Amino acid sequence: VLKVTEFVTANEMANMMDIPVTQIIASCMSLGLFVSINQRLDAETIALVSEEFGYKVEFVSLELIDSIQEEEDDPATLKDRPAIVTVMGHVDHGKTSLLDFIRKADVAADEAGGITQHIGAYSVKLENDRQITFLDTPGHEAFTAMRARGAQVTDIAIIIIAANDSVMPQTVEAINHASAAGVPIVFAISKIDLPGANPDKVRESLANMNYLVEDWGGKYQCQEVSAKHGTNVKDLLEKVLLEADMLELKANPDKGAVGSVIESTLDKGRGYVATLLVQAGRLKVGDLILSGSYYGHVKAMFNERNQKVESVGPSEPVLILGLNGAPQAGEKFHVMENEKEVKDIANKRQQLQREQGMRAQKHITLDEIGRRI
């Protein structure tokens, strides 16, 4: 029995049956098909050809290679994990400043033009010893996809609205992303130290969108803050933790890690670097990781303060070296055991991508030709 996907090539089939590829091509020819070595065969051809060589085929779904099946965790293995909290909102409404205050850092001051252009991921230990992972998203309208990705990996969203500016387009967008992802929202009305601050106008705008805040008798938690002076930030964090408690967030910390890619790039000195968010399991130096069509052993890991770490657990972000490419942000990653399996899956995915790319290109040219006629 041969286990194949519908997309197997003539060459791959030959390898699986351990015969020269010329025999596959000849067999196809006898069916009236002229195929090349790397051509993908349709299901019927695959079945007929393998039958000729004494094999039965079993088609496995493409999903098997596209999304690695995750086994359900035994409830006994689950332990509490920190909440992942994404800060979202309109450009310049104070997301990075709020996180800077919480982290006692000064990221906002170093940003080009004061605009966040990527997702920052920070693990913060609060005064009461509880830990939260914060994701800082860009507010600029150009970064819709990043906000959407932030909303997808998060447990809770802080939607920040500047009291001197009220609800703006990317505020609405952020609320929609969080709602679409089914993520609980805590509103932060920021910049209340400014002379033009009008927090009630913000509450009113939210009410008009059907988001009635608690202090007005609704169900949404809301906190006025000033990131500049740190006013009420503690109260905001308490509300976030309350929300986290209700979610009873748990994960199995003792298995191979799975999680999501926050971002990845090619660094001149260090090769491919990727910021990952571990969602379950424990990621260790030396682990074999597969993400999209890229893979590699983790060579080194660094926390957000650029300190080397040996392992990270659920809800923790980490920067890793060692992948052989830059997987797309939002892509899942898995720690795997079998190197051959990893390479096979990565190659399959690459091939499919290439093919889809080619199809897309073809489509464009045909389209253009059509238009010319």
The residues binding ligand GTP (CB under 6 A) are: 89, 91-97, 108, 114-116, 138-140, 190-191, 193-194, 226-228
Half-sphere CA count of 141, side-chain side, radius 13 A: 3
Does residue 104 have a known ligand-binding role? no
The answer to whether 85 touches 292, Cβ cutoff 8 Å, is no
Nearer residue to Mg ion within complex by CB, 123 or 170:
170
Q: Which does 91 bind (CB under 5 to 8 A by kind): Mg ion, ligand GTP, none?
A: ligand GTP
Select from 16-24, 111-119, 271-279, 328-336 the region that touches Mg ion (CB under 5 A): 111-119
DSSP letter for 70, please: P
CB of 105 to ligand GTP, least distance (A): 12
CB of 237 to ligand GTP, least distance (A): 15
Does residue 138 have a known ligand-binding role? yes
CB of 9 to ligand GTP, least distance (A): 46
306 burial type by CB count under 10 A (0-12 exposed, 13-18 middle, 19+ buried): exposed
Nearest to 165 by CA among 201, 216, 207: 201
Q: Which does 114 bind (CB under 5 to 8 A by kind): ligand GTP, Mg ion, none?
A: ligand GTP
Does residue 192 have a known ligand-binding role? yes
Nearer residue to Mg ion within complex by CB, 96 or 190:
96
Q: Which residue is nearest to ligand GTP (CB)?
A: 139
The helix/strand/coil state of 172 is helix
Does residue 177 have a known ligand-binding role? no
261 burial type by CB count under 10 A (0-12 exposed, 13-18 middle, 19+ buried): buried
Nearer residue to ligand GTP within complex by CB, 110 or 367:
110
CB of 135 to Mg ion, least distance (A): 11
CB of 244 to ligand GTP, least distance (A): 22
CB of 241 to Mg ion, least distance (A): 23
Structure tokens at 90: 């309109």
Q: Does 116 bind Mg ion (CB under 5 A)?
A: yes
Nearer residue to ligand GTP within complex by CB, 226 or 291:
226
Q: Does 95 bind Mg ion (CB under 5 A)?
A: yes
Nearer residue to ligand GTP within complex by CB, 5 or 116:
116
Nearer residue to ligand GTP within complex by CB, 232 or 351:
232
The answer to whether 163 touches 191, Cβ cutoff 8 Å, is yes
Nearest to 264 by CA among 291, 299, 286: 291
The answer to whether 157 touches 88, Cβ cutoff 8 Å, is yes
Q: Which residues bind Mg ion (CB under 5 A)?
A: 95-96, 116
Q: Which residues are annotated as a binding site for GTP?
A: 89-96, 136-140, 190-193
Q: Which residues are annotated as a binding site?
A: 89-96, 136-140, 190-193
